[in-house]
Amino acid sequence: MSVKAIAERAMEQGQGVLRLTPTWVPRVFCVPGRRIKLHPHDYYALGGERGGIDERWFSSTTPADNGPLTSKNEGLSHIAFEDGGKTELFLLRDAIEELKDAIIGKLWAKYQAWPMYSKFFDNQGALPFHIHHDDDHAARVGARGKPEAYYFPPQLNNHGGDFPYTFFGLAPGVTKEEVLDALRAFTKGENRITDLSAAYVLTPGTGWNVPPGVLHAPGSLCTYEPQKASDVFAMYESVVHDQVLSEDLLWKDSPEEEIGNHEYLLEVIDWEQNTDPLFRQKHFMKPVPVDDPAEMRAAGYQENWICYLSKEFSAKELTVLPGATVTIKDGGAYGLYVVQGHGTLGIWDIESPALIRYGQLTYDEYFVSEAAAREGVTITNPSKSDPIVMLKHFGPDAHTNMPVPLD
């Protein structure tokens, strides 16, 4: 049976809602924080040379870029289609390429692809100080720029890890020559580039917006991270938590002709945003109710905007109260992850598992087509005490009621 035929049957079976499988991604430069529900024995399931599994990707049609050891389809989400007692897996990317606007609606005409994905990254310590390229710099290596945002789910942050603070940008008064000196010192030991930055405390239930070109070293909270469909980055810090980074990570996603040119690395930095004294005021995000809180609770739910400062994507946190049945409408296709509780979503059972083995299929992740989102998805919570909580990630142009006007 062709991918198109299977995708059509899966869409019919799920009434426009597709069940996705867990997508685990390792990073060789990270130590897992062990909060993303993977079995304790499975964080190094891909072998020590691949590093620990510290990420789970959601609604992804973007392959992970983990160097020469990257496995086939790493980072790509799969759809699970059950028929006649058998489960068949196929790529969400392939289904969208075949069914086009039947899945992602108006986004197909503009992008010919699903233009975002989300992930959890979960590290014991902070990540190295790094940067994501903007569209212009990414285009030089045939890629797209990468804005991203963070939200710290309380359910997955029972501890803060070793360093629950994030370095953002550059401290007032830092000069370009100081940054250049640190970049040139990358191979000479610890370049201490975060001495030029400022760290901000991370609080569960809040988030940050991170445009491309902004230097950052994400802290050790387990983080939900909606982002544009890209995996471009370059590491500007040479040693973090006594782990030495290889020089190839400094030059990752630099054009071949720029490798060795530290001035180019400086050019990738958006100097105005990195040195903005109002950085926190412009980029910190508290949850914002989607509608009147009292009216929503009376209807059996609470929904908040949690990522809302980027044109490229947005995210909401939906809570369905114990014993409630609600129908929720949205303006565009979205992926969702169930972070707490159990119940039903349309024809699907949904549940947030306590523990997942590597390779195990779950009922905690789905993709909702634009047509189904606009018609409304009915969610029932049969619990007497536990809410259903889900994180919902959208592409661009999904809403007309964003809490902050975006120019």
pLDDT-derived band of residue 172, with 50, 70 and 90 as boundaries? very high
Q: What pLDDT score does 405 carry?
A: 67
Q: For all residues of the chain together, what is the average pLDDT?
A: 96
pLDDT in tens, 284-301: 999 999 999 999 999 999
pLDDT in tens, 271-286: 999 999 999 999 999 9
CB distance 278 to 266 below 8 Å: no
Rounded Cα–Cα distance for residues 21 and 103 (Å): 17
Average pLDDT value for residue range 47-69? 93
Average pLDDT value for residue range 245-250? 96
Rounded Cα–Cα distance for residues 270 and 274 (Å): 6
pLDDT in tens, 342-375: 999 999 999 999 999 999 999 999 999 999 999 9
Q: Is the pLDDT of residue 384 over 70?
A: yes
Contacts with 402 (C-beta within 8 Å, 6 or more apart), sequence order: 305, 308, 314
Rounded Cα–Cα distance for residues 343 and 379 (Å): 7
* Percent of all residues in the chain with a pLDDT value above 70, rounded to a whole number: 99
Query: Residue with structure tokens 């195990």?
Result: 360
27-56+110-285 belongs to CATH 2.60.120: yes
Q: What pLDDT score does 406 carry?
A: 67
Average pLDDT value for residue range 36-45? 97
Q: What are phi and psi of 374, to 5 degrees?
A: -70, -35
Q: What pLDDT score does 1 carry?
A: 85
- Please count the helices (runs of H) and the strands (runs of E) in the chain: 12, 28
Q: What pLDDT score does 66 carry?
A: 84
* Percent of all residues in the chain with a pLDDT value above 90, rounded to a whole number: 93
- State whether the Cα torsion 405-230-250-71 is positive or negative: positive
DSSP 91-159: EHHHHHHHHTHHHHTTHHHHHSS--EEEEEE-BSSPPPPEE---HHHHHTTT-----EEEE--GGG-SS
Domain ranges for the chain: 27-56+110-285
* Secondary structure element (H or E) that encloses residue 6, with its range: helix 3-13
Torsion of the alpha carbons at 348, 22, 111 and 121, rounded to the nearest 10 = 130
